[in-house]
């Protein structure tokens, strides 16, 4: 499926959800939850989660941040399979509860957590790997934070969407889906 079609489907899903749920529209007008959502929740298939974490070369002891963590599947997989310290950022209270319940059920509270926070305000500096399944314009909004806050060598992995003119280091296909990898470059020395 093309990126355009996927973007269109995500946007139409959000519009349909708002049309079917008048309360969501009322919340948006009141500045509630829907006004803070910048992407709809569309789960990443587990085989894509696995490919994202493998492509990001996640290792035990690293810190994985998942921006827009949805149901927590990337966070849980990073903690369970790789022994990484995994932190998800989400604003939807139902998804936060679902994720936290799943983390408890897996017994991963010592490695995994979900924070209620707008992804545009997250300080990503502690992360060694950042995972994304957002929309193209949101990736571009987050890109400056990634480049300015992450340490050189940190990895960014995105499901489905690129980062504009920031060329990925690697692109893989998983069951018709695209996964991108970037590595934060060494900072240029200050000019004298």
Percentage of the chain surpassing pLDDT 90?
77
- Alpha-carbon distance 5 to 14, whole Å? 14
Q: Considering only CA atoms, which of 182, 122, 174, 187 is closest in space to residue 158?
A: 182
Q: What is the pLDDT of residue 42?
A: 95
Q: What digits encode the pLDDT tens for the residues 129-184?
A: 999 999 999 999 999 999 999 999 999 999 999 999 999 999 999 999 999 999 99
Q: How far is Cα 53 from Cα 23, in angstroms, rounded to an integer?
A: 37
Q: Is 91 left (phi over 0), alpha (psi -120 to 50) or beta?
A: alpha
The predicted model gives 5-17 an average pLDDT of 43
| Spatial separation of the C-alpha atoms in residues 164 and 148, rounded to whole Å | 17
Across residues 48-61, what is the average pLDDT? 98
Can you point out the beta strands (E) in the chain?
Answer: 63-67, 85-90, 112-116, 129-132, 155-159, 170-174, 177-183
Mean pLDDT for the stretch of residues 65-72 = 98
In this structure, what DSSP letter does residue 51 have? H
pLDDT tens for each residue of 77-103: 999 999 999 999 999 999 999 999 999
Rounded CA-CA distance 5/78 in Å is 29
**Helical axes 73-82 vs 93-106, angle rounded to 10°:** 20
- Whether residue 13 has pLDDT greater than 60: no
pLDDT at 187: 77
120-144: pLDDT as tens digits? 999 999 999 999 999 999 999 999 9
What was the pLDDT predicted at 138? 97
- Tell me the sheet residues that pair with 171: 180
* pLDDT value for 127: 98
Provide the pLDDT for residue 92: 97
* Region of residue 153 (left: phi > 0; alpha: psi -120 to 50; beta: else): left
Q: Residue 20 pLDDT more than 50?
A: no
Between strands 177-183 and 170-174, the pairing is antiparallel
Which of these CATH numbers, 3.30.160.160, 3.40.50.150, 3.40.640.10, 3.40.50.20, describes 41-183? 3.40.50.150
**Are 91 and 118 spatial neighbours (Cβ–Cβ below 8 Å)?**
yes
């Amino acid at each position: 499926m093309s990126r355009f079609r996927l973007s269109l489907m995500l946007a139409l899903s959000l519009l349909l959800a708002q049309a079917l749920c008048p309360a969501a529209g009322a919340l948006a007008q009141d500045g509630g939850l829907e006004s803070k959502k910048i992407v709809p929740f569309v789960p990443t298939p587990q085989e894509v989660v696995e490919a994202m974490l493998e492509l990001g070369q996640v290792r035990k002891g690293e810190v994985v941040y998942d921006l827009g963590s949805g149901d927590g599947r990337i966070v849980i997989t990073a903690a369970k399979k790789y022994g990484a310290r995994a932190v998800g950022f989400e604003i939807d209270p139902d998804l936060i509860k679902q994720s936290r319940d799943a983390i408890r059920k897996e017994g991963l509270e010592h490695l995994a957590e979900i924070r209620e926070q707008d992804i545009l305000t997250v300080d990503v500096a502690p992360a060694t790997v950042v995972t994304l399944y957002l929309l193209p314009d949101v990736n571009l909004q987050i890109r400056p934070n990634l480049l300015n806050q992450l340490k050189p060598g940190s990895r960014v992995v995105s499901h489905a969407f690129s980062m504009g003119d920031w060329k990925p280091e690697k692109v893989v296909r998983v069951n018709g889906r695209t996964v991108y990898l970037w590595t934060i470059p060494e900072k240029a020395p200050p000019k004298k």
